[in-house]
Structure 1
Amino acid sequence: MDKNQLLSKLWEQYASITPSAKKIHTLLEEKGEMIQNDHIAIRTFNDPRINITVLEKPFLAVGYEARGEYVFESKKLYAQHYEHTTDTNAPRIFISELELEKCSSSLQETVKTILDNCNQNDFMHPELVLNGVVWKSNSQEIYKALLEESEYAAWMYVYGFRANHFTINVNALNHFEKLEELNNFLEENGWKLNASGGKIKGTPEQLLEQSSTLADLYTINFEEGSFEIPSCYYEFALRYIMPDGNLYQGFVASSADKIFESTDVKLQN
């Protein structure tokens, strides 16, 4: 699978449970915009069977390399971002993992049991990052127990391996010079934005501003019944020029921390 096929499949999988992304795409295209993707984010656990080192493999195989690492202490996450070595227009890849050893013993045991009960060969799949849920995930009781401690863990339990969000490159838009202008346009058209930490996370001084929609709600069929659970969201990123004249390529941990909350159940009301 080449780079374009991999990225295309990630988009198809993401868009299938995130109808708002397609609608926003269409809304901007009707305004004459050509959408460029800034980055794609993926979640996992730091269990050695499925950690970042495992999920990065298909990206490394198509020309990506690791460029930056980030720590989110309050959410117990570690992340790395990747850039393509030859295609400067290729979206960055952002892979995060929940640091299980920092979580409660009950969460650790729950995740271990979920993974132990899988067909271990599934974790060897070269395109694991596209395989969604490879474990049994139909217990609302388990979902709620994970949710009490970690929204991130609960999301992973339900949705598994897939893009958690795609991101519009605001620098490439013609009609919006400022992120605030894009946010206003989206709100005028009925979209709710993640206001945790402010609708715009980051500052020009930090060289990156980000905003995002709240995650779509998607119906999950648990054994206890069908319930709507936040799925994925669409992000918007505006990058600034560094003193050396180049565009900033990295991420700001304090901003990304709040962006993670776009899938938070508590923000949906």
Structure 2
Amino acid sequence: MNYELRITNYELNSHLWESLWQEYKARVNYAQTYEQMITAAGGTVANDHIAFRSLRMIVDSSQGQVNLGINYLGQIAEALGYEPVGEYTFHQTHLYARYYHHPQQVEFDLPKLFISELIVDELPDNIAQLIYQTVCTIQPQLTFPCLQREGDNKSITQQLQTAFTRPWQIPLRSTIEVVNQVTQYGAWVLLHGYAVNHFTGYVNRQNTPAYPDIDTTASGLASLGVPMKAEIEGDVTCGLRQTATAAVKEMVTVIDDISGEEMQIPWTYAYYEIAQRYLVEVAPGKQELFEAFLGKNAQQLFEMTRR
């Protein structure tokens, strides 16, 4: 992907994230429950960040070499005016992540972006080879959405949305099952590609006395029958507390190894996260709202899609 056009129109940002939110919400009913719960209490639904997953590896295509890692979506983020401002490494699970912030985030109410990648070269050779055999089938029309210099926000959004899909062909069932034994993250990406991994309800912006903090919000969701993570990660002194629903399960399409036909199997898709941010001391006598992420929290949340 090579985006020559840098898009600074905040309405386009909002339109793209809203379109992805509608797609995600249709698949993750827990997000709908959260939205209904907060609005019924007279509150506001705001999004703290959107998370995406990827694979750090380079493959050949008819359009040249393609980096399927963070840079794949990072180019879109930067074309939309976002800037990388933090990075995190998760050695045990061979993951690396970067978060992006828009300089006009507060002014235009834009979410942060958290994009992670699996370092495929660190995996056992047989697993890396299975992943490569799957993703080398990338389809150029999905890998290189062609942005026009002219067009309204709706048409440009439709072009951009093609990047948030799975650009390779349907994987073999055996590939998913074998890869999943070593890296559930890798199996997830082979199935779902660059689809949204999760949206995040921003507790600070809920503005309703019924749910003043993350504790009451999580309890409220649980009382409505939403399965929640047992713990709330982080603490006030660190500046961030996060928790999440369980991941919803979907019937996904894979290729049967024997017949070569498409078949359906159940697999996890996405969860809905909620987060509350706190003031932290950045200098003697000076406090600021913590805007970054905590590596330990993120590692725990990565596990929410384990099958």
Q: Give yes or no for TM over 0.5.
A: yes
Asked if 2 retains the 8 angstrom alpha-carbon contact of 1:45 and 1:100, the reply is: yes
Deviation of 1:43 (Å): 0.2
> Which of 211, 225, 245 is equivalent to 1:190?
225
Give the aligned residue type for 1:100: V
Quickly say closer, same or farther: Cα 1:129–1:236, change in 2 above 3 A.
farther
Q: Structure 1 CA distance, aligned partners of 2:172 and 2:133?
A: 13
Tell me the secondary structure at the aligned position of residue 188 of structure 2. Answer: helix
Give the aligned residue type for 2:113: I
**Counterpart in 1 of 2:195?**
162
**Counterpart in 2 of 1:211?**
243
- The reply on whether 1:70 has 2:114 as its aligned counterpart is no
Percent identical: 25
Give the aligned residue type for 1:3: N
Give the aligned residue type for 1:233: Y
**Counterpart in 2 of 1:8?**
18
Deviation of 1:207 (Å): 0.9
Tell me the secondary structure at the aligned position of residue 142 of structure 1. Answer: helix
Q: Structure 1 CA distance, aligned partners of 2:119 and 2:186?
A: 10
Asked if 2 retains the 8 angstrom alpha-carbon contact of 1:129 and 1:162, the reply is: no
Asked if 2 retains the 8 angstrom alpha-carbon contact of 1:130 and 1:161, the reply is: yes
The 4+ residue runs of structure 1 with deviation greater than 6 A are none
TM-score (norm 1): 0.91
Asked if 1 retains the 8 angstrom alpha-carbon contact of 2:249 and 2:268, the reply is: yes
Q: Structure 2 CA distance, aligned partners of 1:25 and 1:98?
A: 31
**Counterpart in 1 of 2:150?**
none
Deviation of 1:129 (Å): 6.9
Quickly say closer, same or farther: Cα 1:111–1:120, change in 2 above 3 A.
farther
CA deviations on 1:210-249 (whole Å, 9 max, x unpaired) are 0000111111133344222111110000101021321100
Asked if 2 retains the 8 angstrom alpha-carbon contact of 1:122 and 1:128, the reply is: no
- CA RMSD, aligned part only? 1.7
**Counterpart in 2 of 1:86?**
104
Q: Structure 1 CA distance, aligned partners of 2:140 and 2:299?
A: 32
**Counterpart in 1 of 2:120?**
100
Give the aligned residue type for 1:203: D
Once the two structures are superposed, the pairs formed by residues 1-269 of structure 1 within 5 Å of their partners are: 2-48=12-58, 49-88=67-106, 89-120=109-140, 122-125=142-145, 127=160, 130-173=163-206, 174=208, 175-195=210-230, 199-224=231-256, 225-243=263-281, 244-265=286-307
Tell me the secondary structure at the aligned position of residue 71 of structure 1. Answer: strand
Structure 2 stretches lacking a partner, 5+ long? 1-6, 59-66, 147-159, 257-262
Q: Structure 1 CA distance, aligned partners of 2:45 and 2:215?
A: 18
Deviation of 1:132 (Å): 1.3
* Larger of the two Rg values belongs to structure: 2
Tell me the secondary structure at the aligned position of residue 97 of structure 1. Answer: strand
Q: Structure 1 CA distance, aligned partners of 2:115 and 2:88?
A: 10
Deviation of 1:176 (Å): 2.3
Deviation of 1:147 (Å): 0.6
Q: Structure 2 CA distance, aligned partners of 1:229 and 1:135?
A: 18
Q: Structure 2 CA distance, aligned partners of 1:227 and 1:181?
A: 36
Deviation of 1:131 (Å): 3.6
Q: Structure 1 CA distance, aligned partners of 2:20 and 2:161?
A: 11
Deviation of 1:125 (Å): 2.6
CA deviations on 1:28-52 (whole Å, 9 max, x unpaired) are 2112111010000000001142211
Deviation of 1:25 (Å): 1.1
Deviation of 1:161 (Å): 1.0
Structure 1 stretches lacking a partner, 5+ long? none
CA deviations on 1:123-149 (whole Å, 9 max, x unpaired) are 233637744112122422111111100
Give the aligned residue type for 1:136: Q
Give the aligned residue type for 1:254: K
Aligned length: 262
